[in-house]
Structure formats: C-alpha cells, structure tokens
Amino acid sequence: MSESHYRDQQVKLGKSFGAVADHYGRARPSYPIDCIDPATVKGKKVVEIAAGTGALTKRLSSLDPALLIPTDLSVQMLQDLQRSKLKVEPFDMVATKAEDLSFPDGMFDTIFAAQAAHWFDIDRSTREFSRILGSQGKLVLIWNIRDGSVPWVSDFDRVVDSYQNRIVIARIVEEITGTKRFSSFSRTKTPFVHRLDPELARSLIMSFSPVSTLDSVDRERVVEAALGILMDNLDSEGKISIPYVANVYTSTVL
C-alpha cells in the first residue's frame, strides 16, 4: 500500500468515530491509573488531544490538574464526554483537530493523546504540539493493545483487524522523534484486564473503525465472527476478560 493511500485510509477511518460514539463510550477499555505519571498532571496545565468519550479524561481529572482541556474532532464524542461525571471539571471542551490547535503559544505543561496518534499528520500535529507546550513540556502518548500472546485474543485480532493495516507504534514514535521537535521517548507497559458483560461485546466490536466502516453485509459477517470468539471464551463468572497492555510513551519538547 502506498503512503498516500495509507493516509487516505487513515483519514476515512479517523472520521468514523462520531457515528459509533455510544458504542465507544460504553464498551472500550479505560486506562489503568497506574500507567499515568502523576507528575505530568498534578498542578499542571493539561490538554488532551482526541479525548473521545473521555476514558482517559476521567483518569486525568482525578489527578488534580490545574487546568484540563479535552479536545476532539468529533462533536458527537465531546457531547458524550459532557455527560460524564469528572472529579475536576474541564475548563472547556474544544472541537478541533490535532493539526490545527487554537491555543496560545506555551499555554500547556503536558499534552496527552490516547489511542489517537496514529490518526495524526505527524509533521503538522507535532508542529502545533511544540508550539503550545511551555519549556520542558511533556508529550504523552498512550495505546491500549490487546495481548496477542493469548491464542484466542490473536484470533480475535485477526478478524477485527483484517480490513486495516496494524498500527505500527514504533514507526509513529520514530516519526515524531525525527521531526527534531521532541526528545527520544521513554516507554512503560502496564498489563490489565478489560472485563465485559456479553451484551457489551457487540458494542466493543462495533466501536472499531475498520468494522464500523464496512458495508452492512461485511460488517455483520465480521461482527458475528468476532463475537463468536469472545463468547467461546467467557470466564468463570460468565464475563469476557480481555487481556491488554497499556503502552505509555513520554517525551519532552525540544
């Protein structure tokens, strides 16, 4: 696949989330609080890029930021986030994209982007990130990745990811470092388990952009195949326990 075709596909998939905001908010895993360094949040001015329905926003709000502004390209996602109960209310919510941020220079101490940086234009977004960060400002990127070392999880991944290229996190991190706007990234990994009631399993699958953007016939076929794998692996309490690893990459603006 050519680079231009890959980017076009990413743009298409990246615009799909508004239509599945309800599925996303109800069924996607949150982020383990232990994966977040409190020093990047407590008393800091924080902006979250592509906050979605607020899974990470809720965690950040519990760590006492001085300011917390969630942003997202999708108005539908932000509307879902507005209905959430946060310990610290965000100062504002801004519908905007990573490549065109309307904040003043040096406004923030930390930028967070969870499950999102693979949708960004790296050159344009990092130009904006470096502009709105103050001296020694941090860029924190987080991805929850299912643990494919478990055979049935690997089978599930093959079904739901069969219509897209896999996210190559190492490539994204390398591209960001290559802009010379940010230092080399440190990395931490935090294993956790996402437990779902069976009735939410379909919502989880539908929240995946490569599934939700299929035509109705292909979508139903993929959903049923993926759902079958999950239902064949209920735990002792009749729930679905999916093992994940939260991968956290942290860099400093140069």
Predicted confidence (pLDDT) per residue in 93-150, tens digit = 888 999 999 999 999 999 999 999 988 999 999 999 999 999 999 999 999 999 999 9
- Sequence-separated (6 or more) residues with CB below 8 Å from residue 37: 140, 250
Residue 4, pLDDT score: 44
Which tens digit of pLDDT belongs to each residue from 25-76? 788 899 999 999 999 999 999 999 999 888 999 999 999 999 999 999 888 7
pTM to 2 decimal places: 0.86
Task: Return the residue matching tokens 């008393």.
Answer: 43
Q: Helix axis angle, 198-206 relative to 216-231, nearest 10°?
A: 140
Q: Which of 205, 215, 222, 210 is nearest to 26 (CA)?
A: 205
Q: In this structure, are residues 31 and 113 in contact, taking their beta carbons and an 8 Å threshold?
A: no
Taking alpha carbons only, the member of 175, 204, 179, 189 closest to residue 245 is 189
The three-class DSSP label of residue 186 is strand
